[in-house]
Amino acid sequence: MSSSLVAINLVVLNGEKYLQHCLDTLKNQTYNNLEVNIFDNGSTDQTKDIIRKWQMANGKWQMINFIENKINLGMWGGQEKALEYSNGKYVVALSVDVLMAPDAIEKAVEVLEGDSQIGALQAKILQYDSKYPALSPRPGEPVPSVPPQAGPPPLLGSRAEYLLSNLVDTVGFQIERSRRITNIGHGEEDKGQYDKEKEIFGVEGAAPIFRKEALLDSRVAGEIVDHDMFWYGDDIDLVWRMRLFGWKQIYSPKVIMYHDRSTTKGKSREWKDYLKRISERKNISSLKKRLDWRNKRLARLKNDYWQNVLRDLPWILKREAQELGYIILFEPSVLLEIPKFLKLVPKMLKKRKEIMKKAKISPAEMQKWFT
């Protein structure tokens, strides 16, 4: 078994609802050579107290760093700062609403050690729902391991109170010719259809596992994540750039995690599903919707080859027209982001120039990912 150091970098903002359970799954990992860096983005709830108590109780277990920040840098801005404290060969960019199976890190390291060109690894992430409590193991009972979806999924820790499921949250990002980016498998029942390891367009941002070398190699204008994006869509920009720079991104079904996604949980199949999704999206903040729209387009502006854009222009224009119609009807506040998008275009073109100088993957090689 590899003994490479793995840094688990947890970025959190007001995460008291999830924090103890997330931290407990770190303690239950079968892989022993870990460091834990917890970056707080200025929490105002009980998050900091929970972290301090956990740090004191588990300080002799592994190296644990608690970094307190007064302002919110966003998930990926926080991850970039946490990286400054990281000594690991590999880095788990963990969100607080994610639970890891006990052998998740062990299995991930096995895959990463097998190919030095793998820049990022995507787990099979299933769903759980914090609204439905389940029975916890009694004190002193062993924590059950996670079998490959045989029967009801077990709980992941002695303090677990959440109901896990066999519905897929994501097995990574895919990108269509229209440049629509979706989570592969989202909302599907896990029946083994994603049980083969494969290369994917990009890892999703809930809990990707990176080779630290690949993250550092992805810097542009001194930034690993684009600080002009902030909070939403910056993970798409990062993984697209990482792929341009020649790093593989692999999905492994052996690595199991669970995510309580705060947006939509189901898969849209019929019109009634879309109507339900519209209702669910009312719970998403207007700012998040606006940043999602803006930053995905900024990522395309920075990373997409013009040759491929021209080739797929009919699909792109059709998708843009459909999305604009949806925004006008249901989310008109997103239109307020258009002036900010236009203001950022010159800056993004400068970053694009640097990206294209460093790109190793040809337009033809990139085109195969636009399905």
32-61: pLDDT as tens digits: 999 999 999 999 999 999 999 999 998 888
DSSP string, 305-363: -HHHHHHTHHHHHHHHHHHHHHHHHH-GGGGGGHHHHHHHHHHHHHHHHHHHHH--S-H
Q: Do residues 224 and 213 touch, judged by C-beta distance below 8 A?
A: no
The dotted CATH code for 6-259 is 3.90.550.10
- Amino acid at site 218: S
Weakest mean pLDDT among 116-120, 137-141, 207-211, 351-355? 137-141
Angle at 206 between CA 235 and CA 129, to 5 degrees: 145
Residue 256's H or E segment, with its range, is strand 248-259
DSSP string, 83-105: HTT---SEEEEEETTEEE-TTHH
The β-bridge relationship of strands 209-211 and 118-133 is: antiparallel
| DSSP assigned state of 168 | E
Give 3-state DSSP helix, strand, coil % of the chain, rounded to 5. 40, 20, 40
Which residues in the chain are classed under CATH 3.90.550.10?
A: 6-259
Residue 346 — left, alpha, or beta (φ > 0 → left; ψ -120 to 50 → alpha)?
Answer: alpha
Q: pTM of the full predicted structure?
A: 0.86
- List the helix and strand counts (H, then E) for the chain: 12, 12
Alpha-carbon distance values, 297 to 188, 255, 349 (Å): 27, 31, 12
Residues 6+ apart with CB under 8 A from 148: 195, 253
List pLDDT tens digits, range 19-36: 998 999 999 999 999 999
List pLDDT tens digits, range 128-177: 876 544 433 333 444 344 434 433 344 454 444 456 788 999 999 999 99
| DSSP assigned state of 5 | -
The β-bridge relationship of strands 248-259 and 198-199 is: antiparallel
